[in-house]
């Protein structure tokens, strides 16, 4: 097998049919079918089986796809590293951003763009756990995420700690802070989703003091969450950086005094080549938050 055959194979997997794969590869169908037959003959296994008009990948095919994917990503990283030798002023910035961690990103990217006007961008917004998965797959090179997370093969830099706030449309007395005990019976719509990120952190804060929160809903879309709170659907708990979403909403914001602070930071994969575009972005992010950064190279 060669790299061209692996690319052919990966395209067939992703498109599910020879015809669609051939169109994507800008080639005719018969040569692509022949390449697949040659690969299967050389390997002595079937990589697909037919189900109607579609091709379904076999277990052997799945194993090959995983290895092929990593090989292609490593090759792309090697090509990027070689091309960056010199000015390093061109390339692509591939980053991930947690749903509730992007408050300073527009300002940071504006400064980055002034310094590197020829860079293009690939920005993913998702839950922290999904962003870690994208880092593992080398789909992105760095991510701004919520802490804590479990991944020993990642480098992390904590950027900021911040308190949590109780957000409600229900009139409350004029107070500066509130406790978890005060709101334990209130219907809540929580950011993030069950078993992920902020959701678990908020729920565990109640459980740690012997309480069970009244979780009515979960929602990863911050704009929708803010609208639901304003309409009286339920109240919510969010970190300070998310308060901007409620800026023009008819709601009350009260700091929760007996809840541990949330934190977020920037992470990237350990012991892998980090593109210069990403290294410069990380430096700019840490400078913005006035965090001392150890050498990345």
Q: What pLDDT band is residue 129 in, cutting at 50, 70 and 90?
A: confident
Instruction: Give the per-residue pLDDT at 25.
Output: 93
Q: Range of 124's domain?
A: 91-160+263-288
At 282, which CATH number?
Answer: 3.40.190.10
Residue 54 falls inside a structural domain: yes
Distance CA 87, CA 171 (A): 58
Chain segment 269-280, per-residue pLDDT in tens: 988 888 888 999
Whether residues 105 and 222 share a domain: the answer is no
Is the pLDDT at 63 greater than 60? The verdict is yes
Q: Establish if 50 belongs to a structural domain.
A: yes
Is the pLDDT at 65 greater than 90? The verdict is: yes
Domain annotation covers residue 169: yes
16 and 132 part of one domain: no
124/178 same-domain check = no
- The pLDDT score that the predictor gives to residue 254 is 94
Q: Are strands 154-162 and 262-269 parallel, antiparallel or unpaired?
A: antiparallel
Residue 103: pLDDT band (50, 70, 90) is low
CATH of residue 68: 1.10.10.10
List, for residues 110-126, the tens digit of each pLDDT value.
999 998 888 899 999 88
Whether 60 and 182 map to the same domain: the answer is no
Q: What is the predicted pLDDT for the residue at 194? A: 60
Res. 101: pLDDT tops 70 = no
pLDDT reading at 84 higher than 60: yes
* CA atoms of 262 and 118, how far apart (whole Å): 35
Q: What pLDDT does residue 87 have?
A: 53
Question: Are residue 152 and residue 277 in the same domain, yes or no?
Answer: yes
- Give pLDDT tens digits for 132-153: 999 998 899 999 998 877 778 8
**81, 107, 132 - which closes a domain:** 81
Is residue 46 a part of any domain in this protein?
Answer: yes
Whether residues 8 and 65 fall in one domain: yes
Mean pLDDT in residue range 278-297: 86
In a domain, 296, yes or no: no
Residue in the block written with tokens 């080398």: 138
Q: How far, rounded to the nearest angstrom, does the alpha carbon of residue 154 sit from its chain's CA centroid?
A: 14
Whether 132 and 255 share a structural domain: no
**What's the pLDDT score for residue 28?**
93
Same domain, 19 and 96: no
Picking from 81, 115, 144, the residue at the C-terminal end of a domain is 81
Strand order in the sheet with 154-162: 119-126, 91-98, 142-147, 262-269, 154-162
What pLDDT is attached to residue 196? 60
User: Do residue 184 and residue 142 come from a single domain?
Assistant: no
E-strand ranges in the chain read 48-51, 54-57, 91-98, 119-126, 142-147, 154-162, 164-168, 177-178, 188-191, 215-219, 236-239, 252-256, 262-269
DSSP bridge pairs for 192: 219
Residue 293 lies in a domain: no
The total number of structural domains in the chain stands at 3
In this structure, is residue 271 part of a structural domain?
yes
**206 and 226 part of one domain:** yes
User: Do residues 16 and 68 both lie within one domain?
Assistant: yes
- Percent of the chain at pLDDT exceeding 90: 58
Same domain, 75 and 36: yes
* Banded pLDDT at 195 (limits 50, 70, 90): low
Q: Kindly report which listed range (25-29, 30-34, 97-101, 224-228) carries the lowest average pLDDT score.
A: 97-101
Q: Is the pLDDT at 77 greater than 70, yes or no?
A: yes
Domain contains 255: yes
């Amino acid at each position: 097998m060669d790299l061209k055959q692996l690319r052919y194979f990966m395209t067939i997997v992703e498109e599910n049919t020879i015809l669609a794969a051939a169109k994507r590869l800008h080639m005719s169908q018969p040569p692509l079918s022949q390449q697949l037959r040659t690969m299967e003959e050389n390997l002595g296994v079937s990589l697909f089986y037919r189900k109607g008009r579609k091709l379904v990948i076999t277990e052997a095919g799945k194993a090959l796809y995983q290895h092929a994917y990593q090989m292609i990503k490593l090759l792309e990283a090697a090509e990027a590293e070689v091309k960056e030798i010199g000015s390093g002023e061109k390339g692509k910035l591939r980053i991930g951003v947690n749903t509730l961690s992007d408050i300073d990103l527009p300002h940071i990217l504006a400064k980055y763009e002034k310094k590197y006007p020829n860079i293009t961008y690939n920005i993913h917004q998702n839950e922290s756990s999904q962003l870690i998965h994208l880092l593992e797959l080398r789909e992105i090179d760095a991510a701004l995420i919520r802490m804590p997370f479990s991944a020993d093969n990642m480098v992390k830099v904590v950027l900021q700690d911040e308190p949590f706030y109780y957000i409600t449309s229900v009139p409350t007395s004029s107070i500066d802070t509130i406790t978890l005990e005060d709101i334990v019976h209130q219907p809540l719509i929580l950011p993030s989703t069950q078993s992920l990120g902020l959701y678990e952190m908020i729920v565990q804060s109640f459980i740690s003091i012997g309480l069970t929160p009244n979780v009515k809903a979960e929602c990863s879309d911050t704009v929708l969450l803010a609208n639901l709170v304003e309409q009286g659907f339920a109240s919510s708990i969010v970190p300070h950086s998310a308060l901007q979403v409620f800026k023009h909403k008819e709601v009350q914001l009260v700091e929760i005094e007996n809840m541990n602070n949330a934190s977020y930071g920037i992470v990237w994969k350990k012991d892998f080549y980090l593109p210069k575009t990403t290294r410069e972005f990380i430096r700019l992010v840490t400078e913005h938050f006035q965090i001392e950064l150890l050498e990345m190279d």
